[in-house]
Amino acid sequence: MKYKECNVVCTMHKMHCSSACLLKLHIRDGKIVKITSAGDIPRENSWKSDNSIAPIQRRACARGYAELNHLYSPDRVKYPLKQTIERGNPRGFKRITWDEAIETIAQWYRSMEVRKDELGYYPILDKGGITPYLGTCISTFGNPSGGNVNGAIHVALGDKGKVKGNSPMDIFNSKYIIVWSNDPTATLPYLSYILIKAKENGIPITFVDARYTESIGALATGKNGVPGFILVRPGTDGALMAAMAYIIYKRNLHDEEFIKEYCFGFYPNDTVTSHSTGFDPVTDEPYKGKTYKIPKGESFIEYLETLEKENGSYEGVLKWASCITGVPIEVIEKFAIEYATVKPSFIFSKYNGGAQRTHNGLYYSWMMIALSAMTGNINKRGGGFGELRGDDGYEVKFPQFEKYKSAKKYKPILVSQFALNDAIISGLDGRTSAQLREDVLNMNSIDLGENARLYIEAYIRGDTSGNIFNQTQNINKRRIAWSKLKHIVSYERNLSPTAMWSDIVLPFQSIFENRCNFEKHSSAVSDVFVLNGPVDAMFEAKPDAEINRLIAKKLNIDGFEINTDYISFMKYQWSKAEINPEYKEINSDIKLPDFDEIIREANFQLPVPKEKLPIVLGDFKPGEFTTETGRINFYSPFLAQRGRAVLKINKAQYVPLANGAEKVILDGGVTGRKGIKYRLQFITPHPFNKANATYDNVPTLRNLKPHSVEMHPEDAKIRNIDNGDMVYVYNDYGCVKLPARITATVSPDVVVIPQGSWYRPSLSETYEAYFDSDCDGIAEKHIVPVDVGGCVNTLTEDLNSGILDPYIDGLGLNAGGALCEVSKEKPI
Amino acid sequence: MMQWGFYFDQTRCINCKTCVLACKAWNHERRGDSSIHPFFTWEKDDRYNEPSDYENLPGSDGGINYSEFNKYCMKENWRRVESFEYGVKPPEVYTINLSISCNHCDNPACVEICPTKYIYKEEKYGIVTIDESKICLSCGACKKACPWDSPQFYDDIGLYKKNDPNTPKMTKCDLCIDRLEEGLKPACVAACIVRALDAGPIDELKSRYPKYSEEALGFKRESFTKSGLRIGPNIIFKKR
Q: What is the DSSP string of A19-39?
A: ---EEEEEEETTEEEEEEETT
Cβ contact A214–B52 (<8 Å): no
- How does pLDDT run across A682-731, given as a tens digit for each residue? 999 999 999 999 999 899 999 999 999 999 999 999 999 999 999 999 99
- How does pLDDT run across A747-781, given as a tens digit for each residue? 999 999 999 999 999 989 999 999 999 999 999 99
- What is the DSSP pairing of strand A458-461 with strand A578-579? unpaired
CB A25 within 8 A of CB A9: yes
Check residue B160 and give its pLDDT: 94
Is the predicted pLDDT of residue A327 greater than 60, yes or no? yes
Q: What percent of chain A has pLDDT over 90?
A: 87
Cβ contacts of B52 on chain A, cutoff 8 Å: 90-94
State whether residue A682 is helix, strand or coil: strand
Check residue A350 and give its pLDDT: 81
Closest Cβ opposite residue A748 in set B89, B94, B182: B89
Check residue A1 and give its pLDDT: 41
Cβ contact B69–A697 (<8 Å): yes
Rounded average pLDDT over A467-488: 96
Cβ contacts of A39 on chain B, cutoff 8 Å: 185, 189-192
Cβ contact A712–B190 (<8 Å): no
Distance from CA of B124 to the nearest CA of A (A): 17
Q: Which of A69, A492, A512, A711 is most worth mutating to test chain B (most B CB atoms within 10 A of its CB)?
A: A69
Cβ contacts of A758 on chain B, cutoff 8 Å: 63-64
Residues 6 or more apart whose Cβ sits within 8 Å of residue A747 = A210, A211, A231, A233, A326, A712, B89, B90
Cβ contact B65–A75 (<8 Å): yes
Cβ contact B16–A40 (<8 Å): no
Check residue A98 and give its pLDDT: 98
Check residue A463 and give its pLDDT: 74
State the DSSP code for A226.
Answer: B
- How does pLDDT run across B154-190, given as a tens digit for each residue? 999 999 998 888 899 999 999 999 999 999 999 999 9
Q: Which of A21, A63, A97, A196 is most worth mutating to test chain B (most B CB atoms within 10 A of its CB)?
A: A196
Distance from CA of B42 to the nearest CA of A (A): 6
State whether residue A206 is helix, strand or coil: strand
Q: What percent of chain B has pLDDT over 70?
A: 95
Check residue A74 and give its pLDDT: 87
Cβ contact A192–B66 (<8 Å): no
Closest Cβ opposite residue B191 in set A37, A699, A789: A37
Rounded average pLDDT over A517-534: 86
Cβ contact B72–A93 (<8 Å): no
Residues 6 or more apart whose Cβ sits within 8 Å of residue A740 = A708, A709, A710, A711, A716, A721, A722, A723, A724, A725, A726, A727, A822
Cβ contact A217–B91 (<8 Å): no
Q: Within a 13 Å sphere around the CA of A230, how many CA atoms are in the beta-carbon half?
A: 31
State whether residue A462 is helix, strand or coil: coil
Rounded average pLDDT over A161-188: 93
Is the predicted pLDDT of residue A352 greater than 70, yes or no? no
Cβ contact B50–A79 (<8 Å): yes
CB A139 within 8 A of CB A122: no
CB A180 within 8 A of CB A386: yes
Residue B133 Cα to chain centre, angstroms: 21
Query: Which segments of chain B have a pLDDT < 70?
Result: 54-64
Is the predicted pLDDT of residue A338 greater than 90, yes or no? yes
Q: Which of B4, B12, B14, B175 is most worth mutating to test chain A (most A CB atoms within 10 A of its CB)?
A: B14
CB A760 within 8 A of CB A466: no
Which chain B residue's Cα is nearest to A227?
B91
Cβ contact A4–B15 (<8 Å): no
- How does pLDDT run across B183-222, given as a tens digit for each residue? 999 999 999 999 999 999 999 999 999 999 999 999 999 9
Distance from CA of A66 to the nearest CA of B (A): 7
- Structure pTM? 0.96
Q: Which helix (H) or strand (E) is A701 found in, with range? A: helix A699-704
> Rounded to whole angstroms, what are the CA distances from B108 to A190, B1, B105?
37, 16, 5
Is the predicted pLDDT of residue A628 greater than 70, yes or no? yes
Q: Give the CA-trace dihedral at A274, A275, A278, A280, to 10 degrees.
A: 20
Check residue B63 and give its pLDDT: 55
Q: Return the number of other C-beta atoms located less than 10 Å from residue A696's C-beta.
A: 27
Cβ contact A699–B73 (<8 Å): yes
Q: Which residues pair with A208 in a beta bridge?
A: A180, A230
Closest Cβ opposite residue B178 in set A3, A39, A193: A3
What is d(CA A548, CA A643) in angstroms, rounded to the nearest whole number?
39
Cβ contact B182–A2 (<8 Å): yes
Is the predicted pLDDT of residue A537 greater than 80, yes or no? yes
Cβ contact A59–B16 (<8 Å): no
What is d(CA A618, CA B162) in angstroms, rounded to the nearest whole number?
73
Is the predicted pLDDT of residue A15 greater than 90, yes or no? no
Cβ contacts of B45 on chain A, cutoff 8 Å: 74
CB contacts < 8 Å between A and B, how many?
A: 223
Cβ contact A51–B195 (<8 Å): yes
- What is the DSSP pairing of strand A31-37 with strand A124-127? unpaired
Q: Which of B194, B198, B240 is most worth mutating to test chain A (most A CB atoms within 10 A of its CB)?
A: B194
What is d(CA A708, CA A711) in angstroms, rounded to the nearest whole number?
9
Average pLDDT, chain A: 94
- Rounded to 5 degrees, what are φ and ψ at A110? -60, -40
CA angle, A556 then A506 then B39, to 5°: 145
Is the predicted pLDDT of residue A481 greater than 50, yes or no? yes
What is d(CA A737, CA A727) in angstroms, rounded to the nearest whole number?
6
- How does pLDDT run across A395-441, given as a tens digit for each residue? 999 998 777 767 788 999 999 999 999 999 999 999 999 999 999 99
**DSSP secondary structure, A708-733, as one string:** -EEE-HHHHHHTT--TT-EEEEEETT
What is d(CA A260, CA A254) in angstroms, rounded to the nearest whole number?
11
- How does pLDDT run across A637-646, given as a tens digit for each residue? 999 999 999 9
Rounded average pLDDT over A786-805: 96
CB A94 within 8 A of CB B52: yes
Cβ contact A59–B193 (<8 Å): yes
- What is the DSSP pairing of strand B119-121 with strand B128-130? antiparallel
Is the predicted pLDDT of residue A548 greater than 80, yes or no? yes
Q: Which of A642, A748, A758 is nearest to A707 (CA)?
A: A758
Q: Return the number of other C-beta atoms located less than 10 Å from residue A283's C-beta.
A: 9
- Rounded to 5 degrees, what are φ and ψ at B60? -70, 140
Q: Which of B188, B216, B192 is nearest to B96 (CA)?
A: B216
CB B172 within 8 A of CB B79: no
Using omega within 30 degrees of 0 as the cis cutoff, is the peptide bond preceding A344 cis? yes
Which chain A residue's Cα is nearest to B40?
A72
Q: Which of A439, A418, A444, A438 is nearest to A429 (CA)?
A: A418
Cβ contact A59–B66 (<8 Å): no
Cβ contacts of B55 on chain A, cutoff 8 Å: 90-91
Is the predicted pLDDT of residue A116 greater than 80, yes or no? yes
CB A276 within 8 A of CB A627: yes
Give the neighbor-by-neighbor strand order of the sheet with B4-9.
B197-201, B4-9, B235-238
Is the predicted pLDDT of residue A273 greater than 80, yes or no? yes
